[in-house]
Every structure is written in C-alpha cells, then in structure tokens.
Structure 1
Amino acid sequence: MSKNTGSSMFRKVDVDEFDENKFQDDQVEGQESSGPDESEIQRLLNNKQNIEALQAVLKNPPLNTKNQAVKDKTFSLVIRVLSSFKTSDIDSGINALDDDSKDVLMKYVYRGFAEPSENTCGILLSWHEKVVAVGELGIIIRCLTDRKSV
C-alpha cells in the first residue's frame, strides 16, 4: 500500500498558473507593428510585380496591435493585392510564400469571408482552394485556433 506523506515535492507543474481567471494573452506591448508599407505595395502592383507585392503585404502583419484602424487598412491592402492576381497565377504566388506567410494569408481569407462584399467572394474562394491544396488541412486548423487576429 502507498503511504501518504503529505509532501508536495513531487509536483513539477504549478496548476494555479493555468487558472482561467489569471489568463494573460501572449501579446507583448513593445511588438506592435504598423503593418506593411502601402506606398511600396502600390509601387509593386503598378509594376505588375504581384508576387513581390503579396510577399511584402504578408511580411509584416499587424497581429499584435489592438488598433482596429491599422488592421482594417492592412486588410483592404491585402484584398487589393489578392484581386490583382489572375486565377492562373495564384499557384505561383502561393508557392513563393513561406509557411508563416501562408498562415497569415489564410487568416486574411477567413476575415474576408467574415466581411463579404460583392467583388471579393469569388476571389477569396479561389485563394482558399489553392492555399488548402498546398497547406492541406493543417493550415485551416492553425488559422482557426490562433488567438492573434488580423
């Protein structure tokens, strides 16, 4: 039989640390970003450098900021970049991205689904289909479970 010693030295995990009432988000105050440079993105789009514009717009997303105006501005910029692609060029644009950028792209696609407009639904569905084909179902899971929103 086991003997109750009353000792708590065997515990390695502080269970009080995971109390719901004490939860703090992982956001760090000093890491707020202002989003991508709009003039650089517009210059790339004017020069028909769509892939470079896509990489630039997804490079510095405002994930840690609580300023909704910055997030809205970046979202409209992402939609403008996604709209500039031809359907046949979407695959090459996605293949040029790294895994983190693909995850951010999927977050913007789902935000577009949440805020639909007449001219973006078809574009977003095309991008969703192509991103899921490359990133498989894991990209959807990571997008939906991440606490940081775009």
Structure 2
Amino acid sequence: MARSTLSSRFRRFDVDQYDENRFVEDDPEEAAAAEPEGGPGVEALPRTGNALRALRAAIGGRHGKEQAQGTMLRVLTAFKSSEIEEAVNSLDRNDVDLLMKYIYKGFEKPTENSSAILLQWHEKALAAGGLGSIVRVLTARRTV
C-alpha cells in the first residue's frame, strides 16, 4: 500500500554543489594562467604609480583571506586623497560592494593610521554605492 521512500532515484542532480561552505580546491594551472607573467605584482604596483591598476588587481585577485586583507590595505593606503574618488567611481557596483567589505574588515583590525584612510575610502564608496552597499555588505553570507 505505501511506497518506500528510501529510493534515491528522485535525486537527479547534486544538491551539495549549492552549499556555500563547501570547499572546492582551484586548479593550480588555472590560477597560474589568470596571473599576468612578467609584470609587477600587486604589491609593487602602488610604488610604480599604478595605484588604480593595483586596486583592480587586488579586488579581482586570488589570495587567502588574511593575505588579501593585507594586500588590499596596502593598496588603499598607497592612494593619494585626491585620487580616491576617481578610483571608486571607476568600479562597478559589485566591486564597490567588495571594496566596502574590505573597508569594514580593515576597521576590525586597525593598524597605525589605517582608520583615517579607511574612513576616506568609506565616504567615497558610500557616495558611489549608496546605503544599499552597506546593507549588502552587512547582510552578506560570504566574508572577505
């Protein structure tokens, strides 16, 4: 009379692929192909005067969380106050949200003089992304 529901035939796709906490190791060959060869690394770009290029590379880079935060903080401190607004306005909405995540992460672990610089970035990112950017950062499941 009653059918057995222990059968797994109804499951046609892998539900676990949608789990955000599932770790999938990236292919090292893809990571090596994504990084430019022969050019200066993200760390050296601010010193060579390419601060905007360093910001874009730091946002899109593949680093560990702690390394990415340190890299991002060094890139943000390399900008002059007059260049911040231009840099933020050149980013799209998703990158502004990611920048806001790094700004708030920087507020969690302040270093010497980093809070003043992060406040300047926060002001410009808020002007570009609006309050929605802050709400998206504070409610996001994924952290940086």
TM class by shorter-chain length?
0.7 to 0.9
Work out whether 1:105 is the aligned partner of 2:99.
yes
Whole-Å Cα distance in 1 between the matches of residues 27 and 121 of structure 2? Answer: 25
Q: Check whether the contact 2:42–2:57 (CA below 8 A) recurs between aligned residues.
A: yes
- Give the aligned partner of residue 45 of structure 2: 44
Secondary structure of the residue aligned to 1:42 is coil
Most deviating of 72-81 and 43-52:
43-52
In the TM superposition, residue 31 of structure 1 has moved relative to its aligned partner by 6.1
Residues 26-41 of structure 1 mapped to structure 2, 5 A cutoff: 26-30=20-24, 40-41=41-42
Q: Check whether the contact 1:33–1:60 (CA below 8 A) recurs between aligned residues.
A: no
Q: Check whether the contact 2:51–2:79 (CA below 8 A) recurs between aligned residues.
A: yes
The one-letter code sitting in structure 1 at the alignment partner of 2:68 is T
- Give the aligned partner of residue 120 of structure 2: 126
Whole-Å Cα distance in 2 between the matches of residues 141 and 114 of structure 1? Answer: 17
Work out whether 1:82 is the aligned partner of 2:76.
yes
- TM-score in terms of structure 1 length: 0.70
Which of 70, 90, 111 is equivalent to 1:96? 90
Identity across the alignment (%): 37
Whole-Å Cα distance in 1 between the matches of residues 52 and 27 of structure 2? Answer: 22
Cα-Cα RMSD: 2.5
- Flag structure 2 segments of 5+ consecutive residues without an equivalent: 1-17
In the TM superposition, residue 27 of structure 1 has moved relative to its aligned partner by 3.9
The one-letter code sitting in structure 2 at the alignment partner of 1:44 is L
